[in-house]
């Protein structure tokens, strides 16, 4: 298999991993609908930066190391689980608050929004398992430098396009009107989803 073919295969694997439901999707959805389009896009950029970081770690061999060193993987899993549960509880708690009031109390500073998205992805065991095992074994050994650079760009680009695209789509007026109607139920569902994911990680 040529390096270009390998890049196509890796791109497909990355795309499938990104579009699968998980905490990243819930986070960007909540930011775009409940806060603002800008917050959703910044969240997507934070997730894209995390994708690039994970890819760099994999290329450096650290991703595989994290997955196979029991105590380190467990530490990341526990930190990620607690963080997801905290975000989920916050979503459920604010689910019944009016949209205008909730905007006033929700941190919307660009750096805080970006950092939260980045930390959620970097402490996600799903990300550690995906990048540290599946992606790590698919990268051909002794590839030229341009190949490694291309993987980083592709990982960040696909993540940014997907999550920022979701943010732009869900921050449109029709989406916001639908959200205003179903806000309490949707936020409760997303919050419970995050709590459930975090709880499952704690019990693994």
Using a pLDDT cut of 70, give the percent of the chain over it: 76
On whether the CB atoms of residues 83 and 198 are closer than 8 A, the answer is: yes
Question: In the prediction, which pLDDT does 80 show?
Answer: 65
Residue 156: strand, helix, or coil: helix
Tokens of 32: 């775009």
| pLDDT, mean over the chain | 79
Question: In the prediction, which pLDDT does 100 show?
Answer: 46
Question: In the prediction, which pLDDT does 203 show?
Answer: 79
Question: In the prediction, which pLDDT does 134 show?
Answer: 62
Q: How far apart are CA 3 and CA 119, in angstroms?
A: 32
State mean pLDDT over 22-45: 86
Cut 0.75: pTM above it: no
Q: How would residue 106 be classed by pLDDT, with cut points 50, 70 and 90? A: very low
- Give tens-digit pLDDT for 64-96: 566 566 676 677 667 767 866 877 787 788 777
- Give tens-digit pLDDT for 127-165: 776 776 666 667 776 788 898 899 999 999 999 999 999
Closest CA to 201 of 23, 50, 58: 23
Q: How many residues does the chain have?
A: 204
Instruction: Give the domain ranges of the chain.
Output: 24-203
Question: In the prediction, which pLDDT does 135 show?
Answer: 67
Tokens of 198: 């975090």
Question: In the prediction, which pLDDT does 164 show?
Answer: 95
């Amino acid at each position: 298999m040529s390096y270009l073919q390998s890049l196509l295969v890796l791109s497909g694997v990355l795309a499938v991993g990104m579009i699968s439901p998980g905490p990243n999707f819930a986070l960007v959805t909540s930011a775009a609908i409940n806060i603002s389009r800008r917050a959703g896009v910044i969240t997507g950029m934070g997730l894209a930066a995390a994708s690039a970081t994970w890819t760099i770690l994999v290329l450096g061999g650290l991703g595989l190391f994290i997955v196979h060193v029991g105590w380190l993987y467990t530490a990341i899993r526990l930190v990620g689980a607690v963080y997801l549960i905290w975000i989920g509880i916050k979503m459920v708690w604010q689910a019944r608050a009016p949209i205008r009031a909730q905007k006033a109390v929700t941190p919307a500073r660009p750096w805080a929004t970006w950092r939260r998205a980045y930390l959620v992805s970097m402490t996600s065991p799903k990300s550690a398992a995906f990048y540290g095992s599946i992606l790590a074994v698919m990268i051909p050994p002794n590839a030229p430098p341009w190949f490694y650079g291309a993987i980083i760009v592709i990982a960040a680009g696909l993540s940014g396009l997907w999550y920022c695209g979701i943010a732009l789509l869900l921050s449109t007026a029709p989406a916001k009107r639908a959200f205003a109607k179903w806000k309490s139920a949707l936020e409760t569902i997303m919050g419970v989803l995050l709590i459930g994911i975090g709880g499952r990680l704690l019990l693994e």
